[in-house]
């Protein structure tokens, strides 16, 4: 089962000679939440990633920790906000996600 605290980032990878962004998330226990390949690193791609992660897991995390991708705050509010609950998902942006490797 996926936990309610997610660590999210993206990396640039080459697939069949073309560059893509690989969005990925793990939970606090190191379980894979979701991954998504995208041609772009923008708000639409971030929203699609969080929408997919929520649909696949059925979980709305209490907290998302991410790198400094400027689209994450809006994507998190849009796709992980619990409508009508008044309890938005907390978001923390780290300057370097390398610290999550020690978790």
- DSSP string of 31-52, one letter each residue: -EEEEEEES--SHHHHHHHHHH
Rg (CA), the chain: 13
CATH of the domain spanning 5-94:
3.30.420.10
Look up the pTM and report it: 0.84
pLDDT interval class at 2 (50, 70, 90): confident
- Domain-by-domain residue ranges, the chain? 5-94
Q: What is the pLDDT of residues 8-20, one digit of tens each?
A: 999 999 999 999 9
């Amino acid at each position: 089962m996926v936990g309610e605290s997610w660590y999210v980032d993206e990396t640039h990878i080459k697939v069949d000679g073309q560059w893509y962004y690989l969005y990925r998330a793990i939970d606090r226990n190191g379980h894979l939440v979701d991954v998504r390949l995208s041609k772009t690193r923008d708000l639409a791609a971030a929203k699609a990633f969080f929408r997919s992660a929520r649909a696949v897991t059925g979980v709305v995390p209490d907290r998302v920790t991410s790198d400094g991708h400027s689209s994450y705050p809006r994507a998190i509010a849009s796709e992980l906000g619990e409508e009508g609950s008044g309890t938005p998902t907390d978001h923390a942006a780290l300057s370097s996600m390398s610290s999550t490797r020690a978790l």
